[in-house]
Structure 1
Amino acid sequence: MPTLGLIHNSATLVPIFTEIAARVMPADVKLLHFVDESTIKNTIAAGHLQKSTMRQVVRLVGSAFDAGCDVAMVTCSSIGKAVEMAAELYDQPVLRVDRAMAEKAVASGTRIGVVATLPTTLQPTADLVRRVAAEQGKAIEIVEHLCEGAFQAVMAGDGAKHDRIVSEGLTEGMKGVDAIVLAQASMARVVASLPEGAVSAPVYASPELGMEHARTVLAGLGQ
């Protein structure tokens, strides 16, 4: 039975990825979830990805493989650099949830908007899009937009305020772009709630695209 290990920084992501897996994964794929909130909380507190957090991510990936997973995917964009480090250290596939999203966005045009509710997620996501474009030899322009106060609102339990700030960022802050990248998976539900035509460009979120990529990787293991 092929097994996918999903490493999260919040328990709220478990049902989201379980639901996506039910739709996109073959019935014989087993999921194992690993949750460690310290990876994001310590990164936010420090304002950047620390070496101690990188080591913790590497350990979490190792735990997933020790538990019998064939592929490990980290579902947080803020710690992408640590995921790439882990990929160098293990023989089994280690995936970034946002890689497929970045590739889709780069393929969509040259002016790419990146929206985030945290600066610690905005920068790594924008950097990933730049790197993917460089690998493809494509010149792009990135328009960064930080939805100030949205993360604090959702942490305080005010989901409505979070959604209002994010929707303003998507509609007002992203005018004139060819594609929009959501730096946080939690923002996808805001896009779904907006009226048709409110956002001028295609919007890419990592969970669905990341899981589809993981499906392809799992399928290739048996060949």
Structure 2
Amino acid sequence: MRITCLHTADSNIAVFENAARELGLNQHQFVHVSRPDLLAAAEKAGGLTADIRQQTADVLLALSEDADCVLLTCSTLGSAATLAAETAAVPVLRVDQALAEQAMKTAGNVVALCAVETTLEPTRHLFAQVEKHPQALLEMHLVAGAWDKFKQGDLAGYLQTIAAAADAQYLNGAACVVLAQASMTGAAQLTQMGKPLTSPECGLRAALA
């Protein structure tokens, strides 16, 4: 199976390669395309505009011509996958769809952590749409200062900041903590109080299914 991933951060390529290896998916072929300009445009615009959504969907459609499945790994641009999926001949998935579905099966407080402000609204919208446990309650939190560290290239500091935020939510009584962006995945290995859900693992399982 040929799975093509569209990223908006170069560092996410290694994140997905690691996740695939941990899930034992070596028999599948992974192709990675990185377009940081798409996320940069959304950040500059203060969110996902119709133009950027269409532009991203066009990229996904082009990638779908030579793949068995296409995964959009950027949470800010997520709805572009839904748009592309309407006309693509193969599945086009947003990596956080399966994440939302798994998280909202939890009874109790589900806390979704985001590092980029532009991810808050798309994530909130996605989590509100999926089928949920009657006792699931969603909370959204922006991890202050984390994205600045990421943009400065301080990946270790970025992941430590997110892990600390996740631990604080577990201490606060969260039944489930979600790392909403793929770039946050490494923080799941650094937490002390619980194991947060991450989008690469959930998304890759969904792609295979």
Is 2:201 aligned against 1:208?
yes
- Paired with 1:158 and 1:14, the residues of 2 have a C-alpha distance of 17
Amino acid of the structure 2 residue aligned with 1:211: L
Aligned with 2:104: secondary structure? helix
Unaligned runs of 5+ in 2: none
Tell me if structure 2 keeps the 8 A contact 1:145–1:173: no
- Paired with 2:4 and 2:159, the residues of 1 have a C-alpha distance of 30
Tell me if structure 2 keeps the 8 A contact 1:130–1:140: no
The root-mean-square deviation of aligned C-alpha atoms, in Å, is 2.0
Unaligned runs of 5+ in 1: 217-223
Deviations 1:117-164 (A, max 9, x none): 11111221222111113xx57463211111111101121123343234
Alignment of 1:1-223 (within 5 A): 2-24=1-23, 26-66=25-65, 68-133=66-131, 136=132, 138=134, 140-174=136-170, 175-195=172-192, 198-199=193-194, 202-216=195-209
- Paired with 1:170 and 1:22, the residues of 2 have a C-alpha distance of 25
Cα shift at 1:21: 2.4
Amino acid of the structure 2 residue aligned with 1:120: T
Normalised to the residue count of structure 1, the TM-score between the two structures is 0.84
Normalised to the residue count of structure 2, the TM-score between the two structures is 0.90
Amino acid of the structure 1 residue aligned with 2:119: T
Calculate percent identity across the aligned residue pairs: 26
Amino acid of the structure 2 residue aligned with 1:46: A
- Paired with 1:37 and 1:142, the residues of 2 have a C-alpha distance of 29
Cα shift at 1:167: 2.8
Aligned with 1:144: secondary structure? strand
Match of 1:219 in 2: none
Distance 1:161 1:5, change over 3 A: closer
